[in-house]
Amino acid sequence: MWWIVTPRKPGFYHYCISLVYPPGRYLYHKSLRESIVRVQGSGTGFMVQQAVQRMPTGISSLDPIIEGGVPVGSVILLLGDIGGGNYEFVYSSVVNTLNTADSATDPGASRPPQIHYTTFTRTSEDVRHEIAKSFPMEDAAKLKEKIRFDDLSEIYFENSVVPDDWYSHGDIITRLQKRADHAGILAQLSTSLNAAEPNSLIIIDSITDLATQCTGSHLWQNLTGLLRGLQRISKQRNLTVYLLLTRGILKEVEEREIADIVDAVLLFRWEESSGARRQRVMYFEKFRGVMTHLEERDLVKFAVRISKSGGFEVSNIRVVI
């Protein structure tokens, strides 16, 4: 599949590019109009490869900076200080994606047909309530209709001192039957992820919960093996994955190993600004396929603002010198 362009001059092309596939059919790709595509060749006709398909994050102040969204198939680690903004990033992304799903007209955007939200310690009602309370929803019913929740708390808590009736509402016989049928939590997570539709957005809340249950070397190897497998299957099925991880709870070497596995690391931190005022900032520590674009424009560190009306916003883009 190739993009056929006729630039005004060789080198770089900044305008509309048409896709010819199959012959005689043209597809307009808005995101390429807004980005810079390197053109090979000379004369009046050039051929360049198709651009990477993007999934908008739903954050209007961020998507134009990263050429319309994140590459589809990315596994993205959202590593944050406590209260640093990684949860707000996810909630704002979910709300804006649901708010614009029916009205989206950009054919270049790949919007997820399903949002698949997996939790280990929190209930789906708790997550929906927190999202709705944090940011305005045009139709709050979409939080229940458009998001598939997988609550794995019964497996998470079953070998703990937590009483059964704190996390399970079934009778003792039902709980024992479920327990007998349970595989390990990593195997159950694999089954849950495997049920996600292609092109879906997957949110795992959180890797912190999961990793603290995998303290032995064998269990840790199973966890990192699962994440490597997830990074692989996400490309085959066009799954975009957000992994939430709280910074400073795991050992540094464990954090770095997870960061090495994933495609992207977004770091959410608190920093002291002028006047000793605390300010949230977001760093792109790593982003395969996007980092070169950001580095060329010196866009790596962003100030973050969170409001009920605007949700998660990046502002005052800072150049790292």
DSSP-assigned letter for residue 50 = P
DSSP H stretches of helix in the chain: 30-33, 86-100, 124-134, 142-145, 153-157, 164-167, 172-181, 185-194, 207-211, 217-237, 252-261, 291-296
Residue 224: band (very low, low, confident or very high) from pLDDT cuts 50, 70, 90: very high
pLDDT, tens digit (0-9, with 9 covering 90-100), for 93-106: 999 988 876 665 55
- Token pair belonging to 234: 């996400």
Q: How confident is the model at residue 293 (pLDDT cuts 50, 70, 90)?
A: confident
Residues 102 and 243 in one domain: yes
Q: Tokens 């004369």, residue? A: 43
Clarify whether residues 31 and 72 are in a common domain. no
Question: Are 249 and 313 contained in the same domain?
Answer: yes
Range of the domain at 270: 52-151+196-318
On whether both 2 and 147 belong to a single domain, the answer is: no
Residue 99's pLDDT is what?
84
Shared domain check, 2 and 147: no
Quick one: 3 and 119 in the same domain?
no
- Looking at the structure of the chain, the number of domains it has is 2
The single-letter DSSP state of residue 131 is H
**Tell me: the pLDDT tens digits for 5-16?**
444 444 333 334
Domain co-membership, 143 together with 90: yes
133 and 44 inside one domain: no
Supply the pLDDT for residue 10: 40
Q: Which residue is associated with the tokens 């005052």?
A: 316
Distance of alpha carbon 112 from alpha carbon 146, whole angstroms: 10
Q: Do residue 89 and residue 77 come from a single domain? A: yes
Give domain status of residue 234, yes or no. Answer: yes
- For residues 118 and 208, state if they share a domain: yes
Average pLDDT over residues 162-191: 70
CA dihedral 216, 221, 226, 227 (to 10 degrees): 100
Check whether 318 has a pLDDT greater than 50.
Answer: yes
What CATH number is associated with residue 255? 3.40.50.300
Residue 232 included in any domain? yes
Domain co-membership, 281 together with 142? yes
